[in-house]
Chain A
Amino acid sequence: MNFDAPYTIYILAAYGIGFVLLGGASLSAWRDWRRVSGAWARLNGRGGRGS
């Protein structure tokens, strides 16, 4: 890719937005799963960290 070409900033911004939204969706999906599975494990007394 030629970074000296015009409009490079638009291309980088487009890819940046894609990363941010995909990354945000991945992080929140993973965080929700950790929370729910942790609660489930505690409820069943397996590998419970908090209780």
Chain B
Amino acid sequence: MAAASAIKAIHQTMLRAAQPARFVELSGMLIPWVAALGAAMFVAGLVDGLALSPPDYQQGETVRIMYMHVPAAWMGLFVYALVAGLGGLGLVGGHPLAFAAARAAAPLGAMFTAVCLITGSLWGKPMWGAWWVWDARLTSMLLLLFLYFGHIALSRAFDDPRRGDKAAAVLGLVGCVNLPIVKFSVDWWNTLHQPASVMKLGGPAIDPSMLWPLLLMAAAFKLIFFALWLVRTRTEVVGARLRAAASRSRMEGER
């Protein structure tokens, strides 16, 4: 009973927080703290990753690229799931904030995916001797970036922003179904054509001295994303209000 009423209370609090005006206010309070914590974690991760952690016994100093590369890859995948989930939420519930949040998150996800691909390329050149290899992981990340491009382009392709939001939400959900198939097909394709050069961390277990900077950077990326996401969603919400006010005053002018 107590648990049920607690869940109900939390749910109502969340609904109240999701009202546009309330959201702008709440996010305004939250953003400085999240951003500051994210920046602090980022600096700590940088110091640990670039200075304190040891070089890898096989890869040498280049292993340090991992602390930028792997968290970016995680964020790229996480944000795609988030965008698809928000789109589904918007389609089912019709809440405009869900669409605004999805539109705010998608370019950030594309940015993280791009960081992952570029740092991966810079890691691949010294390790594999090539800037780009059509390896399973690289290919599926590249396709993920293209899915982001499609999503962003579609959400901005209509004169009516509602229409773009809904279309992009459908595309996001279709992409979600397709993503495991893409992953699977690419894995299979790779084992057919390129058995060598599969990316591995130095063995199955990673040493704690390398795990710490990795986790620090992952937490930092997540917090920085969260702060930027809040800022961009807030911008979308106020921007929608500005457009509504502009069209209202236009109608009054015509009258």
Contact check, A10 vs B125: say whether CB atoms are below 8 A apart. Answer: yes
- A36 to chain B minimum Cβ distance, whole angstroms, is 5
Contact check, A36 vs B239: say whether CB atoms are below 8 A apart. Answer: yes
Main secondary structure of the interface of B (DSSP, over half): helix
In the complex, which residues of chain A have a beta carbon less than 8 angstroms from the beta carbon of B61? 1-2, 5-8, 11
> Do A7 and B72 contact each other (CB < 8 Å), given the known contacts A1-B64, A15-B50?
no
Looking at A15, A18, A22, A40, the one whose CB has the most chain B CB atoms below 10 A away is A18
Q: Size class of A's contact patch?
A: 20 to 34
Contact check, A21 vs B241: say whether CB atoms are below 8 A apart. Answer: no
Instruction: Name B35's closest neighbour in chain A (CB-CB).
Output: A26
> Do A21 and B126 contact each other (CB < 8 Å), given the known contacts A1-B51, A11-B62?
no
Interface residues of A in 1-51 (CB under 8 A from B): 1-2, 5-8, 10-11, 13-15, 17-18, 21-22, 25-26, 29-30, 32-33, 36-37, 39-40, 43
Instruction: Name A5's closest neighbour in chain B (CB-CB).
Output: B61
A13 to B108, CA, bound (A): 21
Instruction: Name A33's closest neighbour in chain B (CB-CB).
Output: B235
Contact check, B228 vs A18: say whether CB atoms are below 8 A apart. Answer: no
A15 to B228, CA, bound (A): 19
Instruction: Name B249's closest neighbour in chain A (CB-CB).
Output: A43
Contact check, B228 vs A25: say whether CB atoms are below 8 A apart. Answer: yes
Contact check, B126 vs A17: say whether CB atoms are below 8 A apart. Answer: no
Question: Counting CB contacts under 8 A, is B122 at the interface?
Answer: yes
Instruction: Name B221's closest neighbour in chain A (CB-CB).
Output: A22
In the complex, which residues of chain A have a beta carbon less than 8 angstroms from the beta carbon of B64? 1, 11
Q: Which of B50, B119, B232, B241 contacts A29 (CB 8 A)?
A: B232
Q: Which of B60, B115, B239 contacts A7 (CB 8 A)?
A: B60
Looking at A2, A6, A7, A37, the one whose CB has the most chain B CB atoms below 10 A away is A7
A39 to B165, CA, bound (A): 24
In the complex, which residues of chain B have a beta carbon less than 8 angstroms from the beta carbon of A13? 122
Instruction: Name B116's closest neighbour in chain A (CB-CB).
Output: A18
A13 to B126, CA, bound (A): 12
The 25 sampled A-B contact pairs (Cβ below 8 Å) are: A1-B61, A2-B55, A2-B61, A5-B55, A5-B60, A6-B60, A7-B61, A11-B64, A13-B122, A14-B65, A14-B69, A14-B118, A14-B119, A15-B50, A17-B118, A18-B115, A22-B224, A25-B108, A29-B231, A32-B232, A32-B235, A33-B235, A36-B235, A36-B242, A37-B235
* Chain B interface residues toward A at CB < 8 A: 46, 50-51, 55, 60-62, 64-65, 68-69, 72, 107-108, 111, 114-115, 118-119, 122-123, 125-126, 224, 228, 231-232, 234-235, 238-239, 241-242, 245
